[in-house]
Amino acid sequence: MRKTNLTPLIQCQYFRWRMFRRSKVFYADGRGNQPALGKHSLGTRDPSEAQAALFRLDRQLAVVHGRAPRSILIDEREVTLPIERGYEIFREHLNRPVNLGGVRESTKRRYAAPLKKFADFCGREGIRSWSDVDRQSLERYAAYLANQEHSEKTIDFELTLLKQIVQMLIDNDHLGSRSPIQLKLKAPASATMYCWRPAEVQAMLEHCDSKPSLRWLHDLLLLLAHTGLRISEALSLRWEDLDFEKRLLRLTDESALPETARPRRQLKNGKSRFIPLHNNVLPMLQANFRTRKALGREFVFAGPGGEPLDDHQVRDTFVQEVVMPLADRFPPTGTGPSFRDGRFHTFRHYFCSTCANERVPERVLMSWLGHSSSKMVRHYYTLHEEESLRQMNAISFTGVSYGMSASGHTELETQQEHAAATRVKSTD
């Protein structure tokens, strides 16, 4: 009976190996692969050196058998950069001042989870150096994320981040003369987002206005619907941001300003912008200015003591006191998101869609929303069936109106009926 091989399998980047000792020297057995790779001496008695030699052997034979490009064979003169050390260099890179290309704390926090996830993946795959992070390893990582049921958007974000790290390490001479990773990513499909309808916005405003405890929320929703502000931007508004004489709302990014006693406002894209105040929202702001400013309130929307409102608590109040009570009034009409899925950011979709339907020029809308690309405007735009029908019926294709009459017939049908009745009368 054949003896079972109890030596554990080691999964390297391209092949599986069994590592064993003979006369205290480490060997690698790759005969279980397709094609069979035979036995190879690793030329050392040291376990750590043997493991490093095994991964080099794995790459070399991957090139020989057409599994990987020759570019993965790193020149011995190049420095091998461990994964964790590469992360440290990347963090130092992010910690530069914002005006020199550094990022905000919120961005650093967003990067933390993907970096840890990839480090865990590298540990399982035996990838110990950034020299081993190549197109094939990123493709395997993408397959791993897909198997974990991560969205296309998440996979695209994480692979783009890893490509940027490799590019940064190359640019700063940490990876010798290796080339950037050539991996073209297909843009992920946009997730379906809900967009309020005018009747829903009106219902929410009336609901808040009817309850004295929610009047402040009425004012906040009215502002969001007429400006497209993010909730964080709306809650950070100070009275000094409003120019009632010029009827403007000015959002100033304060990231590059020196530290002061009050918190600095940091806009998402780091760019200041202004938004004209609509006739529907200007009187509300002026009335609140007279009452709240007189109390010494710095923020347009503030707590009892004048402190800025917590956006999480405000979101919870909106969902529990407005969205849920009105959800039965606006039930789902299909399998997609519905009224109950709407949140504060849905007002940004509503503002963008309403402006686009009213033919606001795209460049103007981009300026109001604070976007530098029309791609984001298209992301926020939603065309409802009602608006689509209205736009269609506003087009004259033949020069003849076929609109519906009060009787429910088209105007052409009405004209034909009238002509037929005239012919019958003349015959009589």
Q: What are the CB-based long-range contacts (under 8 Å, 24+) for 160-163? A: 160/185, 161/111, 161/114, 161/115, 162/118, 162/133, 162/138, 163/138
Rounded distance between C-alpha atoms, residue 191 and residue 195, angstroms: 12
For residues 415 and 421, is the Cβ–Cβ distance under 8 A? no
Dump pLDDT digits (tens) for 337-393. Answer: 899 999 999 999 999 889 888 888 888 888 888 877 777 677 767 767 777 777 777
What per-residue confidence (pLDDT) applies to 258? 66
352 and 218 share one domain: yes
Could you report the average pLDDT of every consecutive run of 10 residues in the chain (428 residues)?
Answer: 67 91 91 92 85 87 85 55 90 82 80 92 88 89 91 90 92 80 74 83 96 95 95 92 93 73 72 91 92 79 84 94 96 86 92 87 87 72 73 72 52 56 53
What per-residue confidence (pLDDT) applies to 406? 45
What per-residue confidence (pLDDT) applies to 102? 77
CATH number for the domain spanning 127: value is 1.10.150
Last residue of a domain, one of 155, 171, 187: 171
Report if residue 356 sits inside a domain: yes
For residues 34 and 158, is the Cβ–Cβ distance under 8 A? no
211 and 143 share one domain: no
66 and 101 share one domain: no
13 and 90 share one domain: no
Rounded distance between C-alpha atoms, residue 411 and residue 400, angstroms: 9
**Is residue 80 packed enough to be buried (19+ CB in 10 Å), middle (13-18) or exposed (0-12)?**
middle
H or E stretch covering 19: strand 16-22
For residues 323 and 197, is the Cβ–Cβ distance under 8 A? no
Structural domain count, the chain? 4
> By residue range, what is the domain housing residue 408?
400-428
For residues 356 and 377, is the Cβ–Cβ distance under 8 A? yes
Report if residue 178 sits inside a domain: no
Rounded distance between C-alpha atoms, residue 277 and residue 242, angstroms: 9
Last residue of a domain, one of 19, 48, 72: 72
The token pair at 226 is: 């007429």
* Residues belonging to the chain: 428
Task: Kindly write down the DSSP assignment for every residue of 236-274, as one continuous string.
Answer: T-BGGGEETTTTEEEE---TTSPP-SSPPP--TTS--EE
What per-residue confidence (pLDDT) applies to 324? 96
362 and 427 share one domain: no
93 and 63 share one domain: no
**Predicted TM-score of the model (pTM):** 0.60
